[in-house]
Chain A
């Protein structure tokens, strides 16, 4: 059983965190909220998504799993206006999700959860640096890097967080000193390189967050953590690095 009401924009922003990485996902429902774990087909990026029942106006659910085609789901959510309420209701008999918003009633066919790529294991990472900053800053850096290259370095050097991209001809670097960050903790200098193709997807959702925390190492995966749904949910992205080879 699943029945919930939530602000349409809040819900759309939350789901976008997952849909930007994968086309379909398995959502786990409990009485306390909904969650999803998904990894992209190349096993390079992963998202862990959790929304608490408190983010909803009303939320009733029993333990279960639903498979959602996120491309179609986002299409439907895109039809809702900003302040509309969204009513979600799972029809157990037809295995369809009924979505009502602004007078529109949609019926979304669900996917068989077993047909969706297996949920990933979450690697446990001990990362030496932790940077907390505003999401828009990071989005700006990614957009700038995209103009010159297809990959970008994130690093900490002498208590300064930097983002750097180098193409065949051009180079761009953004430095943010500790004083302009929310916080920076680092046990030394770190630097890892990432594909902009993935970062660009990730910042779509992350760029809207007030505070994003970045856990970073050297030639190691990066972890982005930020809140969604007014603090009643969290999204974690993990992204595997590129290792420069000669």
Chain B
């Protein structure tokens, strides 16, 4: 297996001892006073360039909307202390990057905060209007901001969002550039009678990056005017994954099914994703295993059958929707229907970077040439070579695997 250096030499020792995946970076379960990963992370903050309480730079054009205090939330653009092409800092196209590079990208962005009522998105003014203007752009926008105080150097990790760096209360914000707005975005955003879900689907079909759709969704620029809200970044990521997935599934359900079993795979850093496609009508299951749960290997699972699911996929949460969308996108492009089981594996040297990892890895996996099999048994027999953990734990947790083996068809009885 190809091992990528997750941290510099000398750091591996700390990794072995601390196993931050154990507490997933939140609670200091390893017993150390200071989490070594967080210490490491802090060194990437652009300390030198951030001495004052003012900042000028090209915003990527990222935005962060918090969930704390909902419906009065903290929202504001992410601004780096530098100019030029900064799109990569908020792109989520980081599969080829190391932990160090990803953290470096994230921690150079200063998260500006300003208290905004979520409902004010129905009739934006002041700070929110400027934030919305910035988010419309598909290119970095030159921005100046002044803060109440020097940015706070704490960093935070979350299961769903990419990590965030220093933050500061926003005093004033000015957008210097004219944002470059794709025509499609302009049309959907300015239509205040257009519901959010079809709006998201149209933008996605129109080739607008999912990243930008999520930002627009998050700052309340989609939907019928009176219903527009700010949506905390964490929720908007999954909402957009879900809407995109559902709209694709509505088409995929009518395509002819594939005629063999297929296995796809992609891995990067401490994550491994395997997708099994089956010659059945559309159904989907998401299985997630953390190596930190060894030797019992706990597998979390959620699934849906042909009709789709009505309740939130509470066991695997955002990862379910993040992995489902790219599989459906692939099927839609191929004009074929299939069932799918996604195996998401998280190894021990992992620190939480956000749910985008699974979306991008699933997308990457679906680009590879699959191994093909004529029976489910043969496909499952090939799984041990693709996963780093014992297959029986995965299969035991999988409802769809059991369903596919057990469910007979009426055509078997003619």
Q: Could you list which residues of chain A lie within 8 angstroms of chain B, going by C-beta atoms? A: 39-46, 120-121, 123, 125, 150-151, 193, 195, 197, 220-221, 238, 240-245
| A42 with B280, Cβ < 8 A, contacts A220-B413, A221-B413, A240-B413 known | yes
Complex Cα distance A42/B305, Å?
10
Q: Is B408 an interface residue (CB 8 A)?
A: yes
Q: Is B409 an interface residue (CB 8 A)?
A: yes
Selected contact of B306 from candidates A42, A46, A120, A243, CB within 8 Å: A42
15 extra interface residue pairs, beta carbon distance < 8 Å, beyond A45-B410, A245-B405: A41-B253, A43-B409, A43-B411, A44-B408, A193-B406, A195-B403, A197-B305, A221-B410, A221-B413, A238-B410, A240-B410, A240-B413, A242-B403, A242-B406, A243-B406
- Beta-carbon contacts under 8 Å, B373-414 to A: 399, 403, 405-414
Complex Cα distance A120/B412, Å?
13
CB-defined contacts of A245 to chain B, threshold 8 Å: 405-406
**Which residue of A is nearest B399, CB measured?**
A150
CB-defined contacts of B407 to chain A, threshold 8 Å: 42, 44, 195, 240, 242
Report the minimal beta-carbon distance from A120 to chain B, rounded to whole angstroms.
Answer: 7
Report the minimal beta-carbon distance from B412 to chain A, rounded to whole angstroms.
Answer: 7
Q: Is B220 an interface residue (CB 8 A)?
A: no
**Which of B253, B306, B407, B414 has the most chain A CB atoms inside 10 A of its CB?**
B407
**Which residue of A is nearest B303, CB measured?**
A150
Q: Could you list which residues of chain B lie within 8 angstroms of chain A, going by C-beta atoms? A: 253, 280-281, 305-306, 399, 403, 405-414
**Which residue of B is nearest A245, CB measured?**
B405
| A39 with B408, Cβ < 8 A, contacts A150-B399, A195-B403, A197-B305 known | no
Contacts A/B (CB < 8 Å), 30 sampled: A39-B410, A40-B306, A41-B253, A41-B306, A42-B306, A43-B409, A43-B410, A44-B409, A44-B410, A45-B410, A121-B414, A123-B410, A123-B413, A123-B414, A151-B406, A195-B403, A197-B305, A221-B408, A221-B410, A221-B413, A238-B410, A240-B410, A240-B413, A241-B408, A242-B403, A242-B406, A242-B407, A242-B408, A243-B406, A245-B406
Q: Say whether B408 contacts A120, CB under 8 Å.
A: no
Q: Say whether B411 contacts A244, CB under 8 Å.
A: no
Report the minimal beta-carbon distance from B207 to chain A, rounded to whole angstroms.
Answer: 29
